[in-house]
Amino acid sequence: DAGITQSPRYKITETGRQVTLMCHQTWSHSYMFWYRQDLGHGLRLIYYSAAADITDKGEVPDGYVVSRSKTENFPLTLESATRSQTSVYFCASSDGGRGSEQYFGPGTRLTVT
């Protein structure tokens, strides 16, 4: 299906476990982004990528790792999950440049127990 998808949509994990959230887009957009959304904080940028093999930190990168070996995929890994990482995670993509809106995936609700 065309668009931007995320998997899993819901995940419960335990403290200390490694978790990977997947993001896939079919538009061949250059830019991809990971956000977390928490009550009282709004959407905060974790990492972003301008192209394959180019990634950069956002506002709240600690505890997360990203990679982008292919343009269409941008997985986010929590190396050792903590309760403070319980959140809704959104992936987004854009074709970049000035005046390019971001399109959001459906989100992954992650609970760390």
Partner 1 sequence: EDKVVQSPLSLVVHEGDTVTLNCSYEVTNFRSLLWYKQEKKAPTFLFMLTSSGIEKKSGRLSSILDKKELFSILNITATQTGDSAVYLCAVEGSGGSNYKLTFGKGTLLTVNP
Which residues on adjacent β-strands are paired with residue 11?
110
Q: How far is the CB of 50 from partner 1 (least distance, A)?
A: 5
Report the distance separating Cα 73 and Cα 75, nearest Å.
Answer: 6
Stretch that binds partner 1, among 17-25, 54-62, 65-73, 75-83 (CB under 8 A): 54-62
Q: How far is the CB of 26 from partner 1 (least distance, A)?
A: 16
Q: Does 48 bind partner 1 (CB under 8 A)?
A: yes
Query: φ, ψ for residue 83 (rounded to 5)?
Result: -60, -30
Of residues 5-44, those binding partner 1 (CB under 8 A): 31, 33, 35, 40-44
Q: What number of helices (H) and strands (E) belong to the chain?
A: 0, 11
Contacts to partner 1 by CB under 8 A: 31, 33, 35, 40-45, 48, 50, 56, 58-59, 90, 94, 96-107
